[in-house]
Chains A and B, each alone.
Chain A
Amino acid sequence: MKDRGMEVFILGCLIPLVLGAFALAIRRPRIAPWVAAFGVWLGCGIAAVPVIRALVGSVPPSLQIAWNMPGGSLTFGLDGLSAFFCLPILLVSPLAALYGCQYLAHEKKPLGSVSFFYNVLTASMLLLLAARNGLLFLVLWEVMAISSFFLVVFDDEHAHVREAGWTYLVASHLGTGALLVLFALLGKQANSLDFSLMARAALSPTMAGILFVLAVIGFGTKAGFIPLHVWLPEAHPAAPSHVSALMSGVMIKTGVYGLLRILTMLGHPSAAWGWTLVIIGLISGILGVAFALAQHDLKRLLAYHSVENIGIIALGIGAGLLGLAWNQPVLVVLGFGGGILHVLNHAVFKSLLFLGAGAVVHSTGTRDIDHLGGLIKSMRGTAVTFVIASAAISGLPPFNGFISEFLIYLAGFSGVRADAPGTVILAIAIGGGLAMIGGLAAACFAKAFGVVFLGEPRSSHATHAEEVSAAMRWPMAVLAAACLGIGLLAPAAVKLVLPAVQVVCSGSPNATSRVWEPGVPARAYEETPYGVTANASVTTAMASLMGVVQISTVLLLLAICLYLIRRYLPRGREETATGTWDCGYARPTARMQYTASSFAQPLTDLFKIFLGTRKQGTAPEGFFPQRATFETQTPDAAREHLFVPLFRLIDRALSPVRRMQHGRIHEYLLYIAIVLVLLLIWKAGSR
């Protein structure tokens, strides 16, 4: 019986659409999100079957349906790379949908449209990953962008939400502009828009270079590389939390997927490509986390962290590309492996963080963390999941964040060879850069968790907070379990990544396509130098990961038993509670605690030149000062110094043209006469 994998996958993608449309139609608004959520669960369940089978090994044959658009054809396929990128969608989307139903329960606006567009977003992302034709890819790409735009502007009463929607739509469309030229050029080279033919097109190095730059710009806008990330910190906070969880955790990964898919078509990469991605990764990472440190809006802080994690992914992929260029298999396997695994890890803990932030915003009603504090006492469940996610995103051991960063470190250090200075520079970039990003991320999330959940409530918002309902806590619990699960089952996770790495390396001609095959004995790779050492590096990586997993489990057990010892040690003596040590100050208030900006002030001063933080406030004056205020804003540097002046420049350049339409009919008649005379002169000249 023909392997019906693809048909099942397409069916899985269409079910949410149908039920979404049904949700849009029904009159009673309260059940609309639940119907749509059921659609997402059903769809993802069905689609998960072919995806898992593709990952395990049996890739379903590609499906081809005729489509009479010029150059278009509905071809769908599911290889290792697409299947792996489907995982985060299939995991996060249903959970966020369930969370969303409860999150929007008290909303008075009709919920039909938001649940419909949520389903469209999920379905378009899944179909996008399976699309194997340029035109189809672009159509699905923009459907994804537009449906997420409608989700971002859901509560459009506030002016800043409209502004964020505008920035998001313009940025994503400019990115798509680059993609248009990219696919048109690729189509011209391979004179067909099908990915299979494009992969075989012979490209001259300069053309491949141009295509790479276009791909970085086009997909970088969606992924959020530093100069192109401007829309990210605007759009994600504006969207409802379960949507920003899906967007930040999963949608920006389609940018990474697109970049990798194009890389498979550009043939042998040059070292310059690897270096560009490494540099972008470093800048995005360090500046991303620096900006996150300076924020005191919880969701904006998390959005900047998406930029930082995309930087880490770019660093991994850059290392992989350099490995391909220098023909170093260990860099290729571990670099790409670490980068792509971080995609899954980031999807899990970032969506968990956004759901947690949503719970906080839902019960306190404000996003400014300087007004929160002490929420752990009233929102225990959310606090536990939030601290797990914070530890995971900072890359701390027992959790999944550490695994992918560990792989990238392994790539960097094991690739070092004294005679090749390039590898050393790469190792410095990864060693120094990633360590600094890890340190700053830990600082930022200590601040975020500490200021929001720990200490005394700083305002009335925080005191009246109460725990969110079960429907919101269960998805968070599942995601937290996933964080710990991937952390402790690292070797299995890496095995999942390797088919994707295999697909990415299939692009460059000299790398044999079989980097790693489950079950194939090592001897099979003897003949190619490339195969053997790649396989060897994978075995060492597996051994290291086993070591890490052992230590992590022992760490957990040890911590728990130490905690138990600690509780039963003073069984006789009772515990007393007093006030915190305040050096004998007469009237300590909750506002004297460390706030977000003060906590991060030493670090943000280091990055003063990039951040451009603006400090306003009235200093206390007189002998008995009444009131003093202090406030910091950190506008996005790229927006302030790059895009706003650029738009104003274009605007000023075009204004003289506008004087042409002045309303005087006589000059309009002159225009016609002048054009006629000019054309006649031009014709006489050319004849």
Chain B
Amino acid sequence: MTIISVLLILSCLWLLGSSRLHVAIRVVAIQGVLLGVLPLVRSMGKIGFGVGVLGLSTIISKGILLPWLMSACLRLSGIRKEIEPFVGFGPSLLCGTALLGLAVWIADRLQLTQAQVPQVLLISSFFAILAGLFLMVTRRKAIMQSLAYLVMENGVYGVGVSMSLDFPFIVELGILLDVFVGVFLMGNLLFHLDREFEHLDADKLTELSDLSKSTPVLDAAEENA
């Protein structure tokens, strides 16, 4: 249990630090697998049919399918490295540690006394959410944004598991399916974006805005103003 949460934290820190995209995809794949294993470990032994299938399908979807799609997209668009993001890689790591501190503060702030909630898993899940959000806000590459979304979803899933929530099987599957289709669609969209725009930088996508054009409110007033 603690090993998985420590590995989760390490993987998030690695993402914050690394600039090469194909490495990032592989790290996210590992995270997917970890989260697949998590419910099995969590229920310690009495592995029901539902929990098993769920774990397996998480591992397959997040561990194998999505990374394959992402790397295919990467190969197609021929992007090698994340160019200079808003917050540099060194400072990102510093922010990572700050976020970790924040996650610890949130975890104990919630005083989850009644159920025996593994504090360390809770901290790692909150850290994953915050890291995902931070990555999404700072990185320029659209692919990185979808990966960051995946990390954030893993974090949310982690929080769910740590609060010993066992939704009915269909609902758990529904959540997983939504996340999978979401990221799959992002991949599909990335293909189109790449074909349409030569670049995949999210910060250049600023054509739709209200700044440029504006109509006069009072025609008459404008002329003789």
Contacts and interface: CB of A to CB of B under 8 A. Distances in A.
Interface in A630-664: 644, 647-648, 651, 658-659, 661-664
Given A648-B221, A658-B211, A664 B203 contact: yes
11 contacts: A644-B218, A644-B221, A647-B217, A647-B218, A658-B210, A659-B211, A661-B210, A663-B207, A663-B211, A666-B138, A670-B137
B203 A666 contact: yes
A648 B225 contact: yes
B169 interface: no
A644 B86 CA distance: 44
A661 B209 contact: yes
Given A651-B217, A662-B209, A666-B86, A673 B202 contact: no
A665 interface: yes
B205 interface: yes
A648 B210 CA distance: 19
Interface string B198-212: 000011011111110
A173 to B, nearest CB: 15
Nearest to B134: A673
Nearest to A162: B219
Would you list the 5 A-B pairs with minimal beta carbon distance, nearest first?
A663-B206, A663-B209, A661-B210, A644-B221, A662-B209
A442 to B, nearest CB: 33
A619 interface: no
B202 A663 contact: no
B161 to A, nearest CB: 22
B15 interface: no
Interface residues of A, number: 17
Given A661-B211, A669-B136, A670-B137, A163 B220 contact: yes
Interface residues of B, number: 22
B104 interface: no
A639 to B, nearest CB: 9
Contacts, number: 47
A662 B206 contact: yes
Contacts of B218: 644, 647-648
**Is chain B's binding surface mostly helix, strand, loop or mixed?**
loop
From A648, A662, A664, A666, residue with most partner B Cβ within 10 Å:
A666
B222 to A, nearest CB: 9
Contacts of B133: 669, 673
Nearest to B211: A662
B205 A663 contact: yes
Interface string A587-628: 000000000000000000000000000000000000000000
Nearest to B207: A663
Nearest to B142: A665
Given A659-B211, A661-B211, A673-B137, A666 B202 contact: yes
A665 B202 contact: yes
Interface of B: 86, 133, 136-138, 145, 202-203, 205-211, 214, 217-221, 225
A664 B205 CA distance: 7
Contacts of B203: 664-666
Give the most central of B145, B209, B218, B225: most A CB within 10 Å.
Answer: B218
Contacts of A669: 133, 136-137
A403 B145 CA distance: 82
Given A651-B217, A670-B137, 14 more contacts: A163-B220, A644-B221, A644-B225, A648-B221, A658-B210, A659-B211, A661-B211, A662-B206, A664-B206, A665-B202, A666-B86, A666-B202, A673-B133, A673-B137
Nearest to B86: A666
Nearest to A684: B109
Nearest to B148: A669
A159 B203 CA distance: 42
A664 B138 CA distance: 12
A664 B211 CA distance: 12
Contacts of B206: 662-664
A171 to B, nearest CB: 13
A660 to B, nearest CB: 8
A163 B219 contact: yes
Contacts of B210: 658, 661
A643 B221 CA distance: 10
B211 A665 contact: no
A350 B149 CA distance: 71
A665 B207 CA distance: 11
Contacts of A163: 219-220
Contacts of A659: 211
A163 B217 CA distance: 11
Interface centre among B209, B220, B225 (most CB of A within 10 A): B220
Interface string A148-181: 0000000000010001000000000000000000
A448 to B, nearest CB: 26
A647 B219 CA distance: 12
A319 to B, nearest CB: 38
A119 B207 CA distance: 49
B23 to A, nearest CB: 23
Contacts of B217: 647, 651
Nearest to B202: A665
Contacts of B208: 663
Nearest to B106: A680
A665 B144 CA distance: 13
A661 B210 CA distance: 6
Contacts of A647: 217-218, 221
Contacts of A159: 219
Nearest to A635: B224
A644 B138 CA distance: 44
A665 B200 CA distance: 13
B156 to A, nearest CB: 14
A652 to B, nearest CB: 11
A477 B221 CA distance: 42
A662 B207 CA distance: 9
B143 to A, nearest CB: 14
A662 B204 CA distance: 12
A568 to B, nearest CB: 59
